[in-house]
Structure 1
Amino acid sequence: MRASSDLLAVWHAFDAFPMETLTKAWHFRSGNEPKQRSVELMRLHRERYGSSGNCFDLALWLIDAFRREGIPAYAVGHDLLTPNAHVAVAALDERGRAYLCDLGDQWIEPILIDAESGDFTDEPLAGFVSGARVALSVRESWLHVAYLRPNGKRSEQAYDLRPIAPDALVAAGEYSQRLLRKPLVERRIYTEAEVLHWDLGDGTSFLSGNRGRTEEAPMRSQADRVERIRLHTGMDRQVIEQALAVYGTASIEIE
């Protein structure tokens, strides 16, 4: 079952927000403290530089946006205070049913995770993740997600559904913001036919959709890389350049 219109209205306000670890490197370089930015500072940076943030930034921002609309929301995730940490948001509709809202992994829209609801299903579902169906199961306090790709590939993700306390979320975010391994940028690309997932990693970029993965042309220079990120995200060129320079000399690891 789709989320309520009120919940979706907040979610879709973030449609143009990529998940990116560039801003963390740029902010790290600035020397400003703390490294985990407030929602107010994130808004300012987006207005000035077109930036967004990593999964911690996006979770904090989304929770704030839900609460401003009177929608209860809290963080969920796994492996906090480790390089493998990931967080998302659980938001409750008017009937108290929980929906997973994962901007960090760039899900297309929230998905019902309330196993007690008569609308919950463990059947594979399309339309929530680009280029994959998802199958959910809830065991004790854990949500398990299986991603089923057209080529038969299967991957999995798990979320501890126990609410993360606000102070613990900020502390885990601070830890994550100080870990730098490689630049990552992901974004949903909306087309008439489907929602594609654009991904940039170590020198390559590609689109994922219902027909599988399509590699983009190689980037032959740092200038090519900067321009491709700018075109896909709208981020300020200097912010991208400075962030990539930080990653070029970083020796500590991140998500």
Structure 2
Amino acid sequence: MNVEAPKNILKVWRKFDSVGMDTITKAYFYDKRDKKQRSVMEMKEHFERFGAGGNCFDLAIWLLAELKEAGIEAYPIGHDFFDEKAHVAVMALGENGEKYYCDLGDQWIQPILVEKNHDSFSGEILEGFFPGAHVKVEAESGGFTISYIRNNGKISKQTFPLTPYTIEDLQRAGELSQARIWKALCEKRVRRKGSQEVTHWEFYNWKSFESSLSGLKIEQALSSKEDWAERIALNMGMDLDFVKEALSKFEYIEKE
């Protein structure tokens, strides 16, 4: 069984290996532009200039454009699209229409097959798809559920319908999401020097930690936005001045 995406999809996916997910980019640009949802051209420019990725809507729109350019059929899927809990990912289709779930917003290592009736589908617990956790896919005719299984036994789940959203709905939901400036969040899949494992680094609500298959490493708290900006810039590969200005949009609450 091979639940990995075919080479043509993986080739596009690998273009995003150094692109992180964050909500601080939208804060940086919020009062600088009339239209909040950035174009693909703008996202590419901002990544080259600042190392900025974007939120799940940014990354889905960007990934869809790259897949289309490569001649690969794909469409957006998600849940709670017009709600504050909205999440969007991409379904890319193989040569015979088989479905591969692609989620840059949650910083997956690689896409995974979610086509239940395909000969290569697996409902087993798998490694190498999500940083810091094993995954298990349960697929039904109308949707699928992904279980994330941590080292400590904790299991979290996400359920998605297979129904595609329209590009118009994607843009509209993206615009709404860009206008919600809540808590600063940064996520990045990383491979540390000397290690073969891809881990998951995260900053959220003035805390940072790194997840690996061996467990969760909570990093030491910092005492100022400037210190946090340096840590974020280092781990996310972002421009330091960009991060400092973006963090200035968020209220800082010192943690004990």
**Superposition TM-score tier, normalisation by shorter sequence:** over 0.9
**What TM-score do you get using the length of structure 1 for normalisation?**
0.94
- Secondary structure of the 1:29 match is coil
Q: Within the alignment, does 1:227 sit opposite 2:230 as a pair?
A: yes
**What TM-score do you get using the length of structure 2 for normalisation?**
0.94
Residue 216 of structure 1, CA deviation: 1.7
Q: 5+ unaligned residues in a row in structure 1: which ranges?
A: 250-255
Aligned to 1:13: 15
Distance 1:152 1:52 in 2: 31
Aligned to 1:24: 26
Identity percentage of aligned residues:
42
Residue 42 of structure 1, CA deviation: 0.8
Distance 2:55 2:197 in 1: 24
Q: Read off the aligned partner of 1:137 and give its amino acid letter.
A: E
Larger RCO (alpha carbons 8 Å, 6+ apart): 1
Distance 1:185 1:5 in 2: 29
Distance 1:117 1:219 in 2: 49
Distance 2:224 2:250 in 1: 15
Q: Check conservation: 2:116, 2:140, Cα contact below 8 A.
A: no
Q: Check conservation: 1:29, 1:246, Cα contact below 8 A.
A: no
**Range that drifts further, 232-241 or 81-90:** 232-241
Residue 217 of structure 1, CA deviation: 2.2
Q: 5+ unaligned residues in a row in structure 2: which ranges?
A: none
Q: Within the alignment, does 1:128 sit opposite 2:168 as a pair?
A: no
Distance 2:89 2:208 in 1: 24
Distance 2:88 2:211 in 1: 22
Residue 47 of structure 1, CA deviation: 1.6
Q: Read off the aligned partner of 1:226 and give its amino acid letter.
A: A
Q: Read off the aligned partner of 1:215 and give its amino acid letter.
A: I
Q: Read off the aligned partner of 1:150 and give its amino acid letter.
A: N
Distance 1:131 1:234 in 2: 20
Would you say how many aligned residue pairs link Structure 1 and Structure 2?
Answer: 248
Q: Read off the aligned partner of 1:60 and give its amino acid letter.
A: I
- Secondary structure of the 2:53 match is coil
Q: Within the alignment, does 1:68 sit opposite 2:89 as a pair?
A: no
RMSD: 1.2
TM alignment of 1:208-219, pairs within 5 A: 208-219=211-222
Q: Check conservation: 1:187, 1:198, Cα contact below 8 A.
A: yes
Q: Check conservation: 1:75, 1:87, Cα contact below 8 A.
A: yes
Aligned to 1:93: 94
Residue 25 of structure 1, CA deviation: 0.5
